[in-house]
Structure 1
Amino acid sequence: MWVYNSEVLETSVKWFKDSASVEDLERLDDLINSRAAEGWEFVTHSYMANVIATRSAILVTFRKEK
């Protein structure tokens, strides 16, 4: 049995043309590595574009055995 944990990581700017800033990628790597150190396994991520706001976000999901 698995326990899942999803987190929203806001990007520093709204992304255009499917590109990301280096800082956003570093923040994503830091989050994944931090959760891995806590025993969470990275499962998936999804980019959540926001056409109205100035920022978008990444939904990141982790799991670990219960």
Structure 2
Amino acid sequence: MWTYKSEVLETSVKWFKDSASAGDLDHLDDLINSRANEGWEFVTHSYMPNVIATRSAILVTFRKEK
């Protein structure tokens, strides 16, 4: 049995195509590594564009065995 945890990581600017900034990628890596140190396993991520705002977000999901 697994426990799942999802977090929203906001991007610094709206991404167009594959134009993620190095800072945004560093933040994503930091989040994944931080949760791994807490025993969470990275499962999946999804980019959530926001067509009206200047920022978007990434939904990141982790799991941990109960």
Q: Pick the TM interval, shorter chain.
A: over 0.9
**Superposition CA RMSD, Å:** 0.6
Alignment of 1:16-35 (within 5 A): 16-35=16-35
Q: What percent identity do the matched residue pairs reach?
A: 88
Shift of 1:5: 0.2
- 1:39 alignment partner in structure 2: 39
Moved over 6 A (4+): none
Gaps of 5+ in 1: none
Total equivalences in the alignment: 66
**1:34 is matched by which residue type in structure 2?**
S
Deviation at 1:25, TM superposition (A): 0.2
Q: C-alpha offsets along residues 11-44 of structure 1, whole Å, 9 cap, x if unaligned?
A: 0001112320000000000000000000000000
2:7 aligned partner: 7
Q: Where does the alignment leave 5 or more consecutive residues of structure 2 unmatched?
A: none
TM-score (norm. length: structure 2): 0.97
Structure 2 Cα separation of the partners of residues 29 and 40 of structure 1: 14
TM-score, structure 1 normalization: 0.97
